[in-house]
Amino acid sequence: MRACIRKSAPGAKESLKWGMPAFSYRRILVTFAAFKQHIGFYPTPSAVSAFAKDLSRFATATGSIQFPLEKPLPLLLIRKITAFRVRESIEQDKKWRT
């Protein structure tokens, strides 16, 4: 998971947020955590909404996705979502510039 996210956000800073590994680039991009039955991936509500069709086979909530432990991680999808968050972060910063 970490290597996959790093590949899509090579300039992102790694840290811990809310006790979870997090990647930030100007703002928090994504966080993730392991649980008994799944890996929780937290890319923000906008990313979950933008990828709703691709995420239809996974349990989701407003800003979270659950990847079951018994299945391989959808690494391509995780890369796409992370890249989306990087682009979104850059676009949000442009809105604040005058």
pLDDT per residue as tens digits for the range 20-55: 999 998 889 999 999 999 999 999 999 999 999 999
* The residue type at 57: R
Domain locations in the chain? 2-89
pLDDT over 60 (residue 96): no
Pick the more confident residue, 38 or 92. Answer: 38
Is residue 35 within 8 Å of residue 60, measured between CB atoms? no
Closest CA to 37 of 58, 54, 15: 58
Mean pLDDT over 12-27 rounds to: 94
Q: How many residues appear in the chain? A: 98
* The residue type at 75: L
Query: Under CATH, which number does the domain 2-89 receive?
Result: 3.90.1150.200
pLDDT over 50 (residue 98): no
